[in-house]
């Protein structure tokens, strides 16, 4: 008899594990609590305009297997993601500067603060140092650039000073560019599908049994044990274990509004993503997905990204690693409720700050493990 696998969640991770295990011969069922698939990456429409209710999602990868997989599901439209930052050089300035993110030395050289920045850059240590986010980033780019680009953005985004945050994710997120490369990413492949990512994830799930509107928690462990030979959980573990507050999360709310435009290709903000580090506005960035889709339609949707919403978007990686340890303990406790093997995968369940391509790679690794441990 075919081995049965239950998968909790139909985001990228659930979709890809579901597809790969179905292809390998398992009887798979994906259980999704909402009425739609796609998880955080999902796009929606407002008056016909594609926008992203969970924040800007740009697909980029350097992983050949992941690239081949998404290509096979229709994700092929090239895109080169460039981000701008609106910077006020002093608190009294009325005029802002629109600069590239990451900061580019050749743009900074044109600013009146350049002599100070240049002095600070000349006295940096050879390699970044420091355990907390602020110390690490100041040692990468100096105090002035840190204050202009990073300090207030980080405090708004995380609701706590950067000194309390781990330096671990700084290398992945922060850079000072000297080579003139303007794109945010350096990965070999970057895509943006014209209608958002939904069609791609739906293609992945096209041969997989999916049951929508079905929330599963640890209370269902006995039933899951009867229905399946193994379970893969991609849900947030404090939610799944019914102990909200056990893990710390940071969430955003996209305040999205429709605006008419004069011409079909019209856009109203400077870029798809414009960072707004200033404390003059409560949001961290504006997102206008139409820059990336290139949709020809007489309107656009602008979203202001408000930090601090009570949603599970970002794991909070503190310098002491306490939250990650709690997640590991929760995983152990959850597994003890089951008589069948339990696997944890994806961004929420493993409490990691990972991108879509990493979630897919995670899903591939878990599917391999399940196949090796349970057989087809
Ligand atoms: C604001 C923001 C911006 C991002 N920007 C980018 C970007 O630009 N590029 C990029 O590559 N990545 C980006 N990411 C990361 C990307 O969203 C994730 O890597 C990816 O969505 C992870 O997929 P997942 O399946 O692990 O999780 P999710 O997409 O969160 O999917 C989990 C699914 O499980 C369901 N679920 C949860 N609990 C239960 C339950 N108890 N029972 C049943 N179903 C349940 C949920 O409804 C959801 O459908 C961003 C993330 C955020 C939050």
pLDDT digits (tens, 9 = 90+) for 189-212: 999 999 999 999 999 999 999 999
Q: Is residue 284 part of a domain?
A: no
Mark whether 21 and 104 lie in a shared domain.
no
Domain that holds residue 222: 4-42+195-248+314-374
Whether the per-residue pLDDT at 266 is higher than 80: the answer is yes
With respect to residue 72, please indicate whether it lies within any of the assigned structural domains.
no
Model-level pTM greater than 0.75?
yes
pLDDT-derived band of residue 168, with 50, 70 and 90 as boundaries?
confident
- The CATH number covering residue 213 comes to 3.40.50.720
Tens of pLDDT, residues 288-327: 999 999 999 999 999 999 999 999 999 988 878 899 999 9
At residue 53, does pLDDT exceed 60? yes
**Is there an atom of ligand 1 within 6 Å of 63 CB?**
no
The whole-number pLDDT of residue 376 equals 57
**What pLDDT is stored for residue 101 in this prediction?**
96
| Residues 223 and 131 reside in one and the same domain | no
- CB-based burial, 231-270: b 16+ in 10 Å, e otherwise: bbbbbbbbbbbeeeebbbbbebbbebeeeeeeeeeebebe
Which residues are bridge partners to 259 per DSSP? 300
Contact status, residue 68 vs residue 198, Cβ threshold 8 Å: no
Q: Are residues 89 and 161 in the same domain?
A: yes
With respect to residue 228, please indicate whether it lies within any of the assigned structural domains.
yes
Tell me, what's the pLDDT at 318? Answer: 81
User: Domain check: are 158 and 222 in the same one?
Assistant: no
Query: Are 244 and 95 part of one and the same domain?
Result: no
Please tell me whether residues 136 and 31 are part of one structural domain: no
Centre of ligand 1 to C-alpha 359, Å, is: 9
DSSP 64-102: HHHHHHHHHTT---B----EEEEE-SSTT-SS-EEEEES
- The residue nearest atom 39 of ligand 1, judged by CA position, is 235
Domain match, 106 and 202 both: no
Whether residues 236 and 351 share a domain: the answer is: yes
The pLDDT of residue 92: 85
Q: 212: CA distance to ligand 1 center in Å?
A: 16
Q: Which of 142, 173, 204 is the last residue of a domain?
A: 173
pLDDT in tens, 21-50: 999 999 999 999 999 999 999 999 999 999
CA 24 to each of CA 90, 123, 209, 340: distance values in angstroms, whole numbers, following the listed order:
59, 56, 14, 20
Q: Tokens 């980080």 — which residue?
A: 154
In a domain, 209, yes or no: yes
How sure is the predictor about 1, in pLDDT bands with cuts at 50, 70 and 90? confident
> Are residue 218 and residue 361 in the same domain, yes or no?
yes
The residue-averaged pLDDT of 62-75 equals 98
| Residue 31 alpha carbon, nearest atom of ligand 1 | 43
Distance 12 CA to ligand 1 centre (A): 7
With a 6 A CB cut-off, is 61 part of the ligand 1 pocket?
A: no
Whether residue 108 is contained in a domain is answered as yes
Is the CB of residue 148 below 6 angstroms from any atom belonging to ligand 1? Answer: no
pLDDT tier, 365 (very low <50, low <70, confident <90, very high otherwise): very high
Return the H-helix or E-strand segment holding 281: none
Number of domains in the chain: 2
Residue 340, in any domain of the structure: yes
Asked if 94 and 158 sit in the same domain, the reply is yes
Q: Ligand 1 centre from 367 Cα, in Å?
A: 18
How far apart are the C-alpha atoms of 343 and 335, rounded to whole Å? Answer: 8
In whole angstroms, give the CA distance from residue 370 to residue 367. Answer: 5
Please tell me whether residues 320 and 367 are part of one structural domain.
yes
Element (H, E) at 11: none
Chain segment 95-142, per-residue pLDDT in tens: 999 999 999 999 999 999 999 999 999 999 999 999 899 999 999 999
For helices 64-72 and 356-374, what crossing angle results, to 10°? 90
Q: For residue 352, what pLDDT band results from cuts at 50, 70 and 90?
A: very high
Q: Is the CB of 103 under 6 A from ligand 1?
A: no
Residue 247 has pLDDT above 90, yes or no: yes
- CA-nearest of 236, 265, 252, 261 to 323 is 236
Q: Round to whole Å and give the CA distance between 329 and 327.
A: 5
Q: Which of 108, 142, 173 is the last residue of a domain?
A: 173
Please indicate, yes or no, whether residues 97 and 135 belong to a single structural domain of this protein. yes
Tokens encoding 328: 């590991």
Mean pLDDT, the chain, whole residue set:
95
Inter-residue contact 162 to 154 (CB < 8 Å): yes
Residue 369 domain-assigned (yes or no)? yes
Among 140, 173, 206, identify where a domain stops: 173
According to the model, what pLDDT value does residue 201 have? 98
- Structure confidence at residue 333 (pLDDT): 97
Mapping DSSP onto H, E and C, the string for 285-349 reads EEECCHHHHCCCCCEEEEEEEEEEEEEEEEECCECCCHHHHHHHHHHHHHHHCCCCCEEECHHHH
**If we measure between CA atoms, which residue out of 123, 146, 152 comes closest to residue 134?**
146
Rounded to the nearest angstrom, the distance between the alpha carbon of 61 and the centre of ligand 1 is: 17
Please report the DSSP string for 157-192 in residue order: HHSS-GGGBBSTTHHHH---B-S---SS---SEEE-
DSSP assignment letter at 149: I
Query: Which atom of ligand 1 is nearest to 362's Cα?
Result: 26
Instruction: For residue 51, tell me if it sits in a domain.
Output: no
**Nearest 5°: CA angle at 20, between 363 and 331?**
35
Ligand 1, from 41, 191, 214, 231: best to mutate by most atoms within 8 Å of Cβ?
41
From 215, 234, 307, mutation site for ligand 1 pocket: most ligand atoms within 8 A of C-beta = 234
Distance CA 344, CA 237 (A): 9
Residue 44 CA: distances (Å) to CA of 49, 69, 135, 229, 279:
8, 24, 39, 35, 29
Peptide bond into 102 cis (omega under 30): yes
**What does the alpha-carbon distance between residue 25 and residue 52 come to, in Å, rounded to a whole number?**
34
- The total number of residues shown for the chain amounts to 376
């Amino acid at each position: 008899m075919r081995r049965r696998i239950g998968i909790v969640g139909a985001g990228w991770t659930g979709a890809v594990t579901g597809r790969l295990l179905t292809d390998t011969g398992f009887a798979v069922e994906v259980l999704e609590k909402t009425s739609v698939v796609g998880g955080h990456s999902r796009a929606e429409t407002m008056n016909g305009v594609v926008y992203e209710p969970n924040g800007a999602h740009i697909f980029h990868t350097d992983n050949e297997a992941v690239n081949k997989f998404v290509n096979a599901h229709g994700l092929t439209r090239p895109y080169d993601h460039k981000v701008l930052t609106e910077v006020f050089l002093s608190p009294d300035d009325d005029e802002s500067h629109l600069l590239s993110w990451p900061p580019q030395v050749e743009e900074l050289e044109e600013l009146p603060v350049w002599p100070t920045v240049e002095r600070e850059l000349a006295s940096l240590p050879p390699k970044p140092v420091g355990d907390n986010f602020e110390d690490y980033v100041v040692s990468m780019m100096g105090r002035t650039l840190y204050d202009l680009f990073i300090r207030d953005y980080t405090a708004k985004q995380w609701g706590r000073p950067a000194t309390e945050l781990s330096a671990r994710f700084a290398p992945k997120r922060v850079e000072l560019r000297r080579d003139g490369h303007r794109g945010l990413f350096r990965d070999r492949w970057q895509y943006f599908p014209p209608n958002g990512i939904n069609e791609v994830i739906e293609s992945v799930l096209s041969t997989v049994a999916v049951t929508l509107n079905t929330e599963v928690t640890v209370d269902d462990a006995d039933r899951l044990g009867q229905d399946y030979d193994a379970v893969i959980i991609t849900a947030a573990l404090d939610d799944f274990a019914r102990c909200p507050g056990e893990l710390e999360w940071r969430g955003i709310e996209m305040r999205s509004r429709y605006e008419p435009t004069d011409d079909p290709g019209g856009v109203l903000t400077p870029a798809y993503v414009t960072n707004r580090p200033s404390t003059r506005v409560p949001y961290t960035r504006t997102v206008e997905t139409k820059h990336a889709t290139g949709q020809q339609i007489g309107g656009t949707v602008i979203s202001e990204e408000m930090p601090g919403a009570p949603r599970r978007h970002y794991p909070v990686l503190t310098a002491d690693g306490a939250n990650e340890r709690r997640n590991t303990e929760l995983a152990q406790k959850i597994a003890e409720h089951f008589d069948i093997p339990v696997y944890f995968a994806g961004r929420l369940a493993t409490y990691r700050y990972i991108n879509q391509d990493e979630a897919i790679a995670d899903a591939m690794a878990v599917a391999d493990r399940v196949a090796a441990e349970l057989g087809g």
